[in-house]
Structure 1
Amino acid sequence: MKEFILLLLFCHVASPVLHSLKYFYTGSSQVPNFPEFVSVGLVDDVEFDHYDSNTQRNEPKQDWMEKVTADEAGYWDRQTQILQGSQQVFKGNIETVKKRFNQTGGAHIVQWMYGCEWDDETGDTNGFNQHGYDGEDWISFDLKTLTWIAPTPQALITKHKWERETGETERWKNYLTQICIDWLKKYVDYGRSTLLRTELPSVSLLQKTPSSPVTCHASGFYPNKIMLFWRRDGEELLEDVDHGEILHNHDGTFQKSVDLDVSSVKPGDWGRYSCVFQLAGDEKDIVTKLDPKVIKTNWGKTEIKRDGDSPSGFPTGGVVGAVVGLLVLVAICIAGVIFWKKRNNGFEKANTSDGSASSDAGSAS
């Protein structure tokens, strides 16, 4: 489950004007019922293209990505050929790394995540390029020092090989600081109506049992640049609260929850507490008072009924959204978005002439 926990890191709150372009590649060996290679591209954490070894095609996942065809003739065919090559290299990389760890069989996964970030207010940029093996860091590129970082002895051979390839290091620097940023700006412009929209959530208070924490659940917001917290007497609470991760809904929006431990709160003091939702760029907060009359429960009779509520009082949309969100995470995880502790690198070097990587990425051997 470690991989799933780390995956959620990419959903963390970011700057209100921070945009990102990320590519996730996953190669697998002896993993039943899943493609042996998957590539997923994300702009601002929204999937915009997809390739897997079953379909053998790189395809757009957003309508606005069709605009790239008008600007880049043959884009999808070219990217398909690139990813077909990467598929073969990843297959070899798995065998190479298995030998490094003296492994002969079993299910194994190699991963590559690379991309860039751009703050459209300050102009600041950042690039990352990281490889992983079986959910752990393998090797990563430090853009500041232009060196490769190998956290395990088994990766030192790859580190030394790549650091001798000074031309490739310069190519990565150029890609992460210039080419990737140019493509990111282009994609943000293509998807402006979707990526730059704002949607406010519905906010509910939930409680499993009379002794359980009260959960403040916000669902249906976009983008994921939000704050959700409990406060008492107007001050944010830092104790007795448990923050959940931001999860995807099936419709492209997000959901998040934060729990408040009310075991030590006196009944007469409940009115001092409230849950606050803040969306970046929206000056008006959504404030929900801690009131027993509005808490939805799965015990006893709920005080409030709304369209779509279940008989138990819990909003079915929130429950379904959580399930769908988990399924989305699982799908993205298998599709190359098992996100580990840092961010950067790959066993292969990218063809940095456009927005995604190519099959000529260097071997791990």
Structure 2
Amino acid sequence: MRLPGRGALLLVLSLGSVRLEKHSLTYIYTALSKDVAPPGIHQFTAIGLLDNKAIDYFDSVNTEKVPKQQWMKDQNEDDYWRKGTQSRQSKMKWFQVNLKILMDRMRQNQSDVHVLQWLHGCKADMHRNGSVSFSQGLDMYSYDGNNFLSFDDDHLVWVSSCPAAQQTKRKWDDVPSLKEYTKGYLERECLDWMKKFLGYEQKQLEAAPPPEVYVFAKNSNRKNNVVLTCLATGFNRKEVTLQMRRDGRLLTPVDGVMSSGVRPNGDDTFQRRDRVEILKTDSSSFTCVVVDEATNFNVEKVWDHKLLDESESLVIVIVIVSAAAGGVVLLLGVLVARWYRKRKGNAGKLGTNNVPDVVVPAAQNDNTPTQPLMNQKSEDALVPAPQNDNTPDPKSKSDEHKPLIGKKSDGSKESLSSSGTDSGVSVDCLQNQTEDVAADEVETN
């Protein structure tokens, strides 16, 4: 076999080292069975996140879907927000009904608080030519912070993380149209919305003021050293490159460089601060380089070898947020449940007879009939809702109320799924159930 020449090898290595931009679009719904005392925690919230940054919001107090980014407000017409509000209000009612049904069937105390959550969306890679390609779909839901089911769009199967979810997994796996629609949304429709929103955001980025870059030094605790700092703040994307150079050579952690990493500011922009300790007598040229390829921002600041005057008041506010918005919302289910149970002195243990039937996914669109989504009788079949407010219902009109999940199960315990595609959420699922929560499909926006 003829081996490739050195030039070809370098080309392959170069292509393999191209870094892709990572993007995500997710929606998170959180519903509590009752109001709780801590301020700012609502009985129902829904939030849309683009790259873990809130783009829209809804809660049970204001009951209106509102933009959280100026570009979302500017680019989407009133009809978009009106339909979105109707959709969120429909979901809020669904969560209220189904939380009560789930608690009744599990014989749980109505005075306790329980949390039902749903997360769905997609992740994608953006290439240097601006094209976006799908990388991962997300569709999972949980009860009281414990994962029930997630959808594996690669293999078109629902993945259970505990025996309690096996019965529901099998029922949903037996509905090809649901699996195909779910896969289609995650891999295509969600991606279309992501590209649209990224385009809206890009327009704002191009019109936004450029980031501010500072390079300064102050005395170190070591007598003969100074701490040189490079600070970039006010950039709108996390994917910004910051470098410190000495006579043109890139400084790395091996040279003692320490970084704060990208941190959020209070105005939805970001900042990063890198620093390195050097000798006071070092006369080399030190440069701070900040690059944002998406906006063609490229700035180099050279240190003037001056130290900050201790008598001056130079205030640099570094706002550190310990968790992204998505993580905070996802943790809400666990934290609220634990807080309430601790206050009540109730460990929340389930008896062997606390067995719920299947709970089906939330109403998806504004045209859902006003009749209850579920019958209260446990022997009745449960019916999934239509899909969402911007996508045609994949089921025909005649199938709108056709039972998707049959009669309640026989109560047999199932073994853990052997699939290795679980979402990674704790398998510490609710015990002694025959079935658990399953979702139909997702809202696009």
Q: Which residue of 2 aligns with 1:146?
A: 156
Which structure's residues are more often helix, by fraction?
A: 1
1:125 paired to 2:134: yes
Deviations 1:323-361 (A, max 9, x none): 6x67xx687766x36599xxxxx9836524538x9xx9x
Letter of the structure 2 residue corresponding to residue 348 of structure 1 = P
In structure 2, relative to structure 1, the CA distance for the partners of 1:276 and 1:189 (3 Å cut) is closer
Task: Give the CA deviation at 1:274.
Answer: 5.2
Alignment of structure 1 residues 160-171 onto 2, 5 Å:
160-171=170-181
Q: TM-score, normalised by structure 1?
A: 0.65
Matches of 1:109 and 1:205, distance apart in 2: 49
Structure 1 residue matching 2:82: 3-state secondary structure: helix
The TM-score with structure 2 as length reference comes to 0.55
Unaligned runs of 5+ in 1: 1-13, 306-310, 341-345
* Aligned with 1:27 (options 16, 27, 31): 31
Greater length-normalized contact order (CA 8 Å, ≥ 6 residues apart)? 1
Number of the residue aligned with 2:390: 354
Q: For this pair of structures, how many residues does the alignment match?
A: 316
Counterpart AA for 2:264: H
Q: 1:113 aligns with which of 107, 119, 125?
A: 119
Aligned-partner Cα distance in 1 for 2:102–2:246 = 53
Q: Which amino acid aligns with 1:228?
A: L
- Secondary structure (helix, strand or coil) at the match of 2:298 reads coil
Paired amino acid for 1:125: F
Percent identity for Structure 1 against Structure 2? 25
The question of 1:50 aligning with 2:57 is answered yes
What does 1:313-324 align with in structure 2 at a 5 Å threshold? Answer: 313-315=314-316, 318-319=317-318, 322=319
Q: Distance in 1 between matches of 2:282 and 2:107?
A: 61
Further displaced range: 277-286 or 265-274 = 265-274
With over 3 angstroms needed to count, the CA separation of the structure-2 counterparts of 1:31 and 1:25, relative to structure 1, is farther
- 1:102-251 equivalence runs, <5 A: 109-116=115-122, 117=124, 119=126, 121-126=130-135, 127-131=137-141, 138-153=148-163, 155-197=165-207, 199-205=210-216, 210=221, 216-231=230-245, 234-239=249-254, 240-251=256-267
Contact 1:24 1:113 in 2 (8 A): yes
- Consecutive unaligned residues in structure 2, runs of 5 or more: 1-18, 334-358, 365-386, 394-400, 406-435, 439-445
Structure with larger Rg: 2
Q: CA deviation at 1:53?
A: 0.7
Alignment RMSD (CA, Å):
4.6
Matched, 1:364 2:417: no
Q: 1:51 and 1:44 mapped to 2: Cα distance?
A: 18
User: 2:232–2:271: 8 Å Cα contact kept in structure 1?
Assistant: yes
User: What secondary structure sits across from 1:348 in the alignment?
Assistant: coil
The amino acid across from 2:76 in the alignment is: V
Are the counterparts in 1 of residues 213 and 232 from structure 2 also a CA contact under 8 Å?
yes
* Alpha-carbon distance in 1 for matches of 2:62, 2:168: 31
Alpha-carbon distance, 1:190 to partner: 4.4
